[in-house]
Amino acid sequence: MEGAETSGGGEAIPDEKAVIAPLVVPAMGPVKIPIPERETWTRQMDFIMSCVGFAVGLGNVWRFPYLCYKNGGGVFLIPYLLIVFVGGIPVFFLEIALGQFMKQGGIAAWNIAPLFKGLGFASMVIVFFCNTYYIMILVWGLYYLVHSFTNTLPWATCGHSWNTKECTEVFRLDQCINGTSGNLSGSGNVYNISCDALANKRSPVMEFWEKKVLQISSGLGEPGQLNWQMILCLLATWIIVYFCIWKGVKSTGKVVYFTALFPYLVLIVLLAHGVTLPGALDGIVYYLKPNWSKLAEAQVWIDAGTQIFFSYAIGLGALTALGSYNRFHNNCYR
């Protein structure tokens, strides 16, 4: 052996000048944990129906008619449609595209620009506070739904434990008449109506809402008691919500076919029934009669913008989460 001497026994004796090569260990880089692949919608229609479900909800059925009547009737549609096409639809698709590109939810999607990651956390805070009151609207609906299966609707009659002495079921016109004038038009009497007799009367609908559902106390000094029926409805509502989303898009994709289409069916039924009622045409004209002076008020434009962002759930991270379950090359605009 070169660089070593051999002893009498034939064993190699290391030379003092021999150089032992150091053991070279390859450098270990950071351990990369594989990111689990995000699941996708079973069908593209599942994603479309989920977005449709956002377009029709309490924000449209409940809040939009009130704002339309408050802000000049048909005139309100001008700023509403203008802001929809200028701001609503572009931001709507922007959030979906962001989630589809990043394949992440409302918080992690902002890794695309870490400086703005706080927007994701802010949206979650907004969602938290929205859920605290939005769920109660669903609870009230479930509460009324359960009570609607009784033979006599509890909010249609008086005589219940929550009704007061001022409760009256029928507001009769003849109780308000204190005199007549001459026949001016030849088609009947013109009445001078005074409703002093009904000044303190209350409808059973209002008393059911205030005394039974809300159980409003007399003031802050009287906190009242827990409404166990509402607690059960609240628990049932959260359980329903949980089972709608507990398997991710696999279960949500099935539920949205009902939650997205059923409101349209109800609206069509209510519209068909409403237009057949007496005075329906007069009511529609009165409701949509334009008040052009409202266009000069800034509050009208503010209400239109807030309604769009409220009804389409823009800025809450929900659309980003829905888009993240699309395939990367999916044409979300189509």
Transcribe 44-57 into DSSP letters: HHHHHHHHHHHHSS
Q: Is residue 180 part of a domain?
A: no
Position 208 confidence tier, pLDDT thresholds 50, 70, 90: very high
Helices then strands (H, E): number in the chain?
12, 4
Q: Is residue 63 part of a domain?
A: yes
pLDDT in tens, 22-75: 555 555 555 555 556 777 888 888 888 888 887 777 767 778 888 988 898 889
More confident residue, 214 or 223: 214
Q: What is the mean pLDDT of residues 272-298?
A: 89
Number of domains in the chain: 1
Q: What is the rounded end-to-end Cα distance, in angstroms, of the chain? A: 77
Instruction: Show binding-site residues.
Output: 53, 55-56, 60, 311
Alpha carbons within 13 A on the beta-carbon side of 284 = 9
Three-state secondary structure call for residue 9: coil
Q: Is residue 14 part of a domain?
A: no
Q: Which residues make Cβ contacts (< 8 Å) with residue 282, sequence separation at least 6?
A: none
Q: What percent of the chain has pLDDT above 90?
A: 23
| H or E segment and range at residue 111 | none
Q: What percent of the chain has pLDDT above 70?
A: 80
Contact by Cβ (8 Å): 202, 165: no
Q: What is the mean pLDDT of residues 211-238?
A: 88
Q: Is residue 23 part of a domain?
A: no
CA–CA separation, 44 and 49 (whole Å): 9
Q: Is residue 197 part of a domain?
A: no
Q: Is residue 215 part of a domain?
A: no
Domain residues for 72?
Answer: 44-150+227-268+279-324
Q: Is the pLDDT of residue 315 over 60?
A: yes
CA–CA separation, 319 and 286 (whole Å): 36
Does the CA dihedral 10-16-18-20 come out positive or negative?
positive
Q: Is residue 332 part of a domain?
A: no
Instruction: Show binding-site residues for Na(+).
Output: 53, 55-56, 60, 311
Q: Is residue 76 part of a domain?
A: yes
Residue 305, both tokens: 């913008």
Q: Among 248, 266, 194, which Cα is nearest to 37's?
A: 248
CA–CA separation, 126 and 120 (whole Å): 10
